[in-house]
Amino acid sequence: MNFWNFIISHLDEIWSQTVEHLVLTMASMTLATLVGVAVGIGLTRAEKLSNPVLGFVGIIQTIPSLALLGFLLPIFGIGVTPAIIALFLYGLLPIVRNTYTGIREVDPAVKDASMGMGMTNFQLLRYVELPLAFPVILAGIRTATVINVGVATLCALIAAGGLGEFIFRGITLNNQQMILAGAIPASILAVALDTGIGFIQRKPTSLRTWLLLGTSSLLILIGFLSSGSVTKSKLIAGFNSEFIEREDGYMGLDSLYDLPIEIKEMEISLMYRALHNGDVDVIDGFSTDGRIKEFNLKSLIDDKKYFPPYYAAPIVNALVLERHPEIVTALNLIADKLNDERMAELNYLVDGKKMELSAVASTFLKEINIYADADAGSSDEPDVVIGSKAFTENFLLAHIFAQVIENKTSLKTKLELGFGGTKLIFDALRLGEIDIYPEYTGTGYLVLLQKSAKDVSDFTNPDVIYNDVKKEFAERHNLHWLNPLGFNNTFAIMMRTNQADSLKISSVSDLSDYLKSK
Amino acid sequence: MLRDISFSVEPAETVVLLGPSGCGKTTLLRLVNRLENANRGTIEIDGENINNKSKESLRRSIGYVIQDTGLLPHLNVKQNIELVGKICDNEISEKKVNELLSLIGLEQEVLLKRPSELSGGQQQRIGLARALATDPEIILMDEPFSALDNITRSQLQDDFQNLTDLDSKTILLVTHDVQEAFKLGDRIVLLYEGQIQQYGTPLELLNKPANSHVEAFLKKDKFVLGLQTFKYGESSLLNFLNAQEVKAEDKKEAMEDFFKQIH
């Protein structure tokens, strides 16, 4: 599909994202202008405060935009509100500073003559200082607007919409056209706003025209926001960008179950809290995430077996097995010892209770009568190197592997934790940089073998997939899948337990029925 | 820093505050419309302490003209004049604007121009027109002609003298220019280091300087000033010349020069 086809087929979405983007920028800029100009004027009347206040808004500006969004999340949750607040804070500095400087730089003779005429403080502001500082103030608004069009793309990460949705989806899926579909309109928007304000700057208009313009844009904005807050469906879903766009994500789910639901796009790591806070009602989580327990969430049963199985198992380089065959016996001791719920609890001990990974690993092993040393995995001359991907569950499993091996064999192990991606850790294993890591059958099948649902008889049968990857990995890569650990960390559609219970929803089909009912 | 300042001004009188820079003459002027605040002492207008009124209403009753004109650069001439009325809720009619314009000797076409499009002299005339727009009885002028070139300055000074509308106004004018002070002032307050050295008519200052400061300040311009006193009558000029230790031929030459000038 070429770029133009992509644009044309996504025109509706590009348009609605552009409008969202414009609304985010304009709402925050209207606020920032009102507050910034007021603060700037205040500073000219209380000179002593000018240094501390300008310093303070300057510091806000230096906070990385993502971090600022992060700070606001616990207070304002996700969505348009924290996004507008963050953009508002970003817009403040140029406006406050330019208002202050602009007013201070009004010709003292003009002020003197005006005061000599008998102007009150307010008349001086209205007839002299504001009109004369106007071009400088407008230049500040202009700078802030252009900055904010850029920063507003980040707001897609907290479900505030805007052109960032395309950009981040494009990055996740490595789709250049999609990135451009977000980036180009954002650039056009920035240039257009910049030119527009520049035009006003050169063509002085009366204060009344400005007030009129300001109020009308505010009214349009309020109108837009209030119409936007009337939700079209009964429940709101928060899905991450990859899930929305992938054919084996929401699209396939919708065509199998029929789920007419309004979707907000958001970062994976934010979804659980968003669901917990009631910002959304349905998310696509992972079935063993620790936050399911922490936030009292419920995974809906995938009664039509849509999601592929993601059973975790150690995969091992064949060369190591030749040298140290006892590894297999050791790791088989933990085979089938975990289920979804238990794994979620262990994850919760780390994420929620902030316990050490090694301590949680040995706690688990103790339950199955393996009294391992929590310090395992730190040898300088290791016989076996154990890797992991960069998330809690994978960290934990790597620790468990190390402790079992050191306890049940005489081998020394070393942990290499936190590989940034599936492809990276897989290559490390093939090249012998690491010897073992925990992998999931679904990932092995879809991502590493690049096979699709149609390539096997029963895609949703865990044993079929496990046997397929086991066979193919051994043949193609000389890598061995050991016995699965017993839990399935697959995608799961989740809701708040109390809401799901009160609506009598326990499976995805129930959810579909509820959404379709009047 | 001003000390021991005490003087009174008669209605319709033009009093010049004269002195070298830093003597406090501008501060003294700005005390009258309360752009500066006095630590001690009182200023009364028609027997009423100026502190009894609000700053704004005091200032609205007094015209104020400054060296840099202080016209609003974003408004045209007409809007500049009308603004005075706007701030005192006292609308200035089109007719009044035209009257003011002809009074200060400018054409209608300047009305729609911005101050920056006018010459320095024109700007200063507009500044005066603005001060007169609300018909104040008192006008304060701070070095009104100092920023202008010599020719424009003496033109404006002459026009200022000839403006009959100003005859009824009580005017306080600040200048460091001795000749301007003698030309325009009915009486002169000569200030030096924050104190009044002498308060009197130009002739009194010239002929009976109160102290060495007064004498020293007038010394450089003394001869020209003497000639200017001609306006008080030919005899006073001759008296002055006779009193000077000047050679007879020089006197004759000076007289000829002077008559050439005034004809």
For residue A69, what pLDDT is reported? 86
Q: Is the pLDDT of residue B82 over 70?
A: yes
A201: contact with B, CB 8 A cutoff: no
Q: Rounded to a whole number, what is the distance in Å from the CA of A148 to chain B's nearest CA?
A: 31
Mean pLDDT value across chain B:
86
The predicted structure's pLDDT at residue A374? 85
| pLDDT above 60: residue A227 | no
- Higher pLDDT among residues A140 and A306, named by residue: A140
Question: Shortest CB distance from A115 goes to which of B35, B61, B73?
Answer: B35
Using the Cβ of A105 and the Cβ atoms of chain B, whether some distance falls under 8 Å is answered with no
Q: Is A175 an 8 Å CB contact of chain B?
A: no
Please report residues of B whose CB lies closer than 8 A to that of A111: 70
Distant-in-sequence, close-in-space partners of A501: CB < 8 Å, separation ≥ 6: A298
Chain B contact for A207, CB < 8 A?
A: no
- Best of A117, A201, A210 to disrupt the B interface by mutation (most B CBs within 10 Å)? A117
Ramachandran class of B76: left when φ > 0, alpha when ψ lies in -120 to 50, beta otherwise: beta
- Is the per-residue pLDDT at A264 higher than 90? no
| Cα distance between residue A48 and residue A52, in whole Å | 8
CB contact under 8 A, B74 and A107: no
**Confidence class for position A74, pLDDT limits 50, 70, 90:** confident
Q: Cβ contacts (< 8 Å) between A115 and chain B: which residues?
A: 35, 59
The whole-angstrom separation of Cα A375 and Cα A403 is: 8
Interface membership of A188 toward B (CB under 8 Å): no
Report how far residue B260's alpha carbon sits from residue A374's, in angstroms, rounded to the nearest whole number.
115
The interface predicted TM-score of the complex, written ipTM, equals 0.84
How many Å lie between the alpha carbon of A41 and the closest alpha carbon of chain B?
Answer: 19
Selected for mutation to probe chain A from B50, B59, B80, B86 (highest A CB count within 10 Å) is B59
Q: Of B34, B57, B64, B65, which to mutate for an interface test with A (greatest number of A Cβ within 10 Å)?
A: B64
Least confident window among A64-73, A433-442, B35-44: A64-73
Spell out which residues of chain A touch residue B83, defining contact as CB-CB under 8 Å: 117, 127
φ, ψ of residue B170 to 5 degrees: the values are: -90, 120
What is the model's pLDDT at position A424? 82
Cα(A346)–Cα(A342) distance, rounded to whole angstroms? 6
User: Cβ of A113 and B35 within 8 Å?
Assistant: no
For residue A230, the model assigns a pLDDT of: 47
Nearest-neighbour CA in chain A from B75: distance (Å): 10
Contact check, Cβ <8 Å, A132/B72: yes
Q: Is the pLDDT of residue B258 over 70?
A: no
pLDDT score for A447:
80
Give the whole-number percent of chain A exceeding pLDDT 90: 51
Helices and strands: H and E segment counts in chain A? 25, 10
pLDDT tens track for A409-462:
999 999 999 887 787 889 899 999 999 999 999 888 988 888 887 888 788 888
On chain B, the residues whose CB falls within 8 A of the CB of A116 are 33, 35, 59, 64, 66, 70, 140
Sorting pLDDT into bands at 50, 70 and 90, what band is B221?
confident
For A362-378, the pLDDT digits (tens) are 999 999 998 888 888 88
Q: Is residue B46 exposed (0-12), middle (13-18) or buried (19+ Cβ within 10 Å)?
A: exposed
Name every residue whose Cβ is closer than 8 Å to that of residue B90 and which is 6 or more positions away in sequence.
B134
Q: Is the pLDDT of residue B190 over 80?
A: yes
Buried b (16+ CB within 10 A) or exposed e, A419-442: beeeeebbebbeeeebbbbbbbbb
Q: What is the pLDDT of residues A137-152, one digit of tens each?
A: 999 999 999 999 999 9
Per-residue pLDDT reduced to its tens digit, A25-46 = 988 998 999 999 999 999 999 9
Contact criterion met (CB < 8 Å) for A113 and B73: no
pLDDT: which is higher, B88 or A153:
A153
Tell me what the pLDDT averaged over chain A comes to: 88
Residue with tokens 């003087």: B7
* Torsion of Cα atoms, A7 then A13 then A16 then A21, to 10°: -70
- The torsion defined by the Cα of A443, A449, A454 and A455, in degrees rounded to 10, comes to -130
A304 has pLDDT over 90 = no
Q: What is the DSSP letter of B140?
A: E
Q: Do A127 and B86 touch (CB under 8 A)?
A: yes
Region A68-90 average pLDDT: 87
Q: Which of A111, A112, A123 shows the shortest C-beta gap to B87?
A: A123
Q: Which among B67, B70, B87 has CB closest to A118?
A: B87
Is 90 exceeded by the pLDDT of residue A283? yes
Q: Find out whether A40 and A100 touch, Cβ atoms under 8 Å.
A: yes
Query: Which pLDDT score, from 0 to 100, does residue B226 have?
Result: 64
Measured between CA atoms, the residue of chain B closest to residue A126 is: B87
% of chain A exceeding 70 in pLDDT? 95
Interchain contact, A127 vs B83, CB within 8 Å: yes
Name chain A contacts of B72, Cβ cutoff 8 Å: 110, 114, 127-128, 131-132
Specify which residues A236 forms β-bridges with: A262
